[in-house]
Structures are given as structure tokens and as C-alpha cells.
Amino acid sequence: MTATVYAVANQKGGVGKTTTALNVAAAMAELGAAVLVVDLDPQGCLTFSLGYDPDSIEPSLNDTIVGRTSMADTILQHDEVDVVPANIDLAGAEVTLLSRTGREYLLRGELSELLDSYDIVLIDCAPSLGVLTINGLTAADEVLIPVQCETLSHRGVAQLLDTIEDVKRLTNRELVVRGVIATMFDGRTRHAREVLQDLLARYELPLVGPPVRKSIRFAESPNVGATLVGAGTDVPGASAYRAIARELLALPVDPDLAAGAGWSDEQRDAALGLVREGER
Amino acid sequence: MTSDDRRPGTSAAFDRISSPRPGTAEGRDGLGKEALYSTSPSAAPTSPVDAWCRRCDVPFGVSVGLLVRLLVPPFLIDPVRRRVWTRCPACDRYAWIQLRTGQALRVLLDRDPSR
């Protein structure tokens, strides 16, 4: 068993990276996969969302970065998934790493010892471009790009794709952009549909799974220390993440699941402005 | 972009957004985003000599210019332990400064085909 490593990345903040990483991880675990999530954000939002207090966790990812402990020793076993936690000390790691040759490869080196123990590793990247994000992209096999369908997020994708070109040229030639995950999607607005259509057409990116509908339940779930998927909350967004997980694991997606996400094939094609083969 | 050469499905409303540049080093500023990568050929060069002051415990890079200044008399050289007794540029006191080959010189030596 060698894990596939996904970086969940977007330099723009607030697009749903952490929510996507957590819920996709939980949905994959639900399907029987051994999943590790790595919190690469000094804000520790992923760590907090799983019910831990980032400020009282020791050791954390920062201890691995500065060489105090191995990554395996930082892993916490949550009910849903295993997690490498982070806290605000990770902000200092950026500075520690800046003077180190080969700083881009540190996470890849640490993860390499764990790949045989998991099926899937999901890295929740920070909402900025720095050494940590470069580490995440260098360690990954594929990139998932969560996008909130608004103009500034569209611009964030352009900037991220530019960074991915740099990473492929300098540190990880094999990196593949798996596709875009449309988050907080409100299909009732023409702007959201236009952004998504333009994004997919302009950069020739695939859309992974159905768009994830906006729901207040996602904002509430960090309070209970469990993901929406893990808690069994019945909202379209949770079904969307289950469909995304199945697609990433190359499992068939039940039409009922897509319908539960609020996106039948017809709705999806209509929202994306696609014309089905038979209708041409 | 005119409507004729527009990719199907794209909208003129988003043409202001810059497209990602192709994956080449051409036109990249070595002191800009490229500086994030320690292995980038265009990244700013690091020092040829790394030094460490035994008195103030501060490591620092030594450029050629700084090396000349360190070797302004009076100074002592201990070739066995590869250290120099001179004025430390960090604490401005006389101390033993430990020297070792820096990244820039190591890269240069690694590229020497005679090695």
C-alpha cells in the first residue's frame, strides 16, 4: 500500500480548503480507506475543527519542521481520520526553513516514511504562498483546488496555477492538477455559474464531483469537533463530498448520491452551460 | 482577446485576470517569488562561506567582501580547526570565527567537471 497524496490548495483564503480536506477525508474513511490529514496552516483550523485545542497540542507539525520529532510521533488518532496537528508555532517554521537548502522537500521526506501505512494523505495547505505551501505541493501527487465561485477566487486559481507551474519546473515534475472543487456554490446566481463555466473552460480544468452547496452546517461543525460527513448530517453539501470522495477513489458515483447533493446530471449540465451529446 | 479567438465557454468579464505563465524560468525575478525555492537556478545566490562566532554564537554568511574585511590585521588563522581570530561582524568583538564552505561555493564546486 502506497498512499496517494493530495494537496488541497488555493492561495486565496476562505474558499473552503479545510472544510473540503476534512469532509473528503471523512468520506474516504467511511468507505474504508486509511486516511491521514496534515494541517499545514499555522492557524490550525483543521486541528481545531477535529476537536483539538491547537495551542495545547504537543508535539505538532512545527516540532517535525524544526527537527525535534518525527512526523509519526505527532499523529493524533481521531474517531474519523488520523491527523498531523498544527498550531501558530508553525508560523515560525517559515522563518526556520527559509535559510535551509532543500527546504521544499522537508514535508515530502517526512511523509515518505508514512506512505506505506495509509491509502490517502490529504494536505490542507495555508491560504498564502510561502515555504509551507511549496512543501505541500512538492509532497503531493495531485492538487485539488477548492474554489468559491466568485471573481477573486477565479483570480486566485490563476495565481495558484502559476505557482503549480513553478513547482513542476523546480521541485515536483510529476505534480498533477486533479481538478476544481466548487465550494459554497449558489447555483441561483448567474455570477457563480459564469465563474465556474469560465474557470473550467479558460484553464481546461476538470470539475471534481458535484458543486458543494452552501450550508450554515459547515460553519457550525467545527464547534462539535466532527466533520459533517462523520456526524452523519443530512445536507446536500455532505452528499457532494461523499460523491467527490468516490470519484477520487475511482468508485462509481450513485445517481442518488448526486441527486442528494442537489445535482442531477441535468442540473449540473444546465448550471455549467454544457450541452449533452444527445441534444446537439 | 476578440470574440473570434475566444475559447468556447469563457466570458469577456474575466479577461482582466492574468493567465498563468508557462513553466519556464524566463522573466522570473530571482529575488521575487522564485526566491522561495532553494533549488531555483535564478534564486539569489547564498554566501560562499558560512561562519559562526564562538563568542556571540551567531551564524552568518560571509561574502567575498566581508571575508576581505575579516582578514584586516590584526588577525590569526588556525588552519587545522579552520577558524580565524578576528573582529566578529555580528558582535563587533574579537573572537574565534569558525569557517566552513557555504552553499554558493559548494554548488560551484559540485558543478566543476574536474571533480
Chain-chain contact of B34 with A194 (C-beta, under 8 angstroms):
no
Contacts B24 to A, Cβ<8 Å: 169
Chain-chain contact of A159 with B33 (C-beta, under 8 angstroms):
no
CA-CA distance, A231 to A223, in Å (whole number)? 12
In chain B, the percentage of residues whose pLDDT exceeds 90 is: 14
CA-CA distance, A156 to B18, in Å (whole number)? 10
Is residue B101, in this structure, part of any structural domain at all?
Answer: yes
Domains of chain A: 4-272 (3.40.50.300)
What integer pLDDT is reported at residue A278 of this predicted model?
A: 44
Contacts A102 to B, Cβ<8 Å: 38-39
Task: List B49's β-bridge partners, or say none.
Answer: B62, B101
Model pLDDT for residues B72-110, shown as the tens digit of each residue? 888 999 999 999 999 887 777 899 999 888 766 665 666
SS3 of residue A183 by DSSP: strand
Sheet holding B83-87, edge to edge: B59-62, B49-53, B94-101, B83-87, B76-78
**Would an 8 Å CB–CB cutoff place A100 in contact with chain B?**
yes
Is residue B28, in this structure, part of any structural domain at all?
Answer: no
CA-CA distance, A22 to A52, in Å (whole number)? 14
Chain-chain contact of A201 with B17 (C-beta, under 8 angstroms):
no
Report the residue of A128, A202, A280 to disrupt the B interface, i.e. the one with the largest count of B CBs within 10 Å.
Answer: A202
Chain-chain contact of A195 with B38 (C-beta, under 8 angstroms):
no
User: How many structural domains does chain B have?
Assistant: 1
Is residue B53, in this structure, part of any structural domain at all?
Answer: yes
**Residue A232 — left, alpha, or beta (φ > 0 → left; ψ -120 to 50 → alpha)?**
left
Residue written as grid cell 490548495? A9
Q: Give the A:B interface size as CB pairs under 8 Å.
A: 73
Specify whether the CB–CB gap between A86 and A48 falls below 8 A: no
What integer pLDDT is reported at residue A275 of this predicted model?
A: 44
Is residue B84, in this structure, part of any structural domain at all?
Answer: yes
What integer pLDDT is reported at residue A59 of this predicted model?
A: 94
**Would an 8 Å CB–CB cutoff place A80 in contact with chain B?**
no
What integer pLDDT is reported at residue A116 of this predicted model?
A: 94
Q: What are the distances in angstroms from CA A61 to CA A39, A41, A47?
A: 8, 10, 11
Bridge-based pairing state of the strands B83-87 and B76-78: antiparallel
Chain-chain contact of A129 with B33 (C-beta, under 8 angstroms):
yes
Is residue B85, in this structure, part of any structural domain at all?
Answer: yes
Chain-chain contact of A163 with B37 (C-beta, under 8 angstroms):
no
Check the CA dihedral A131-A212-A269-A198 and report its sign.
negative
**Would an 8 Å CB–CB cutoff place A134 in contact with chain B?**
yes
**Would an 8 Å CB–CB cutoff place A77 in contact with chain B?**
no
Going through chain A in order, the beta strands assigned E by DSSP cover: 4-8, 35-39, 76-77, 82-84, 120-124, 142-148, 176-183
pTM of the model: 0.79
Is residue B93, in this structure, part of any structural domain at all?
Answer: yes
pLDDT for B30 beyond 80: no
Is residue B26, in this structure, part of any structural domain at all?
Answer: no
Q: Which of the residues in chain A have pLDDT under 70?
A: 99, 101, 267, 270-280
Structural domain including B92 reads 49-109
CA-CA distance, B67 to B48, in Å (whole number)? 10
Model confidence band, residue B62 (pLDDT cutoffs 50, 70, 90):
confident
**Would an 8 Å CB–CB cutoff place B25 in contact with chain A?**
yes
Contacts A129 to B, Cβ<8 Å: 33, 36
Specify whether the CB–CB gap between A180 and A147 falls below 8 A: yes
Is residue B114, in this structure, part of any structural domain at all?
Answer: no
Contacts B43 to A, Cβ<8 Å: none
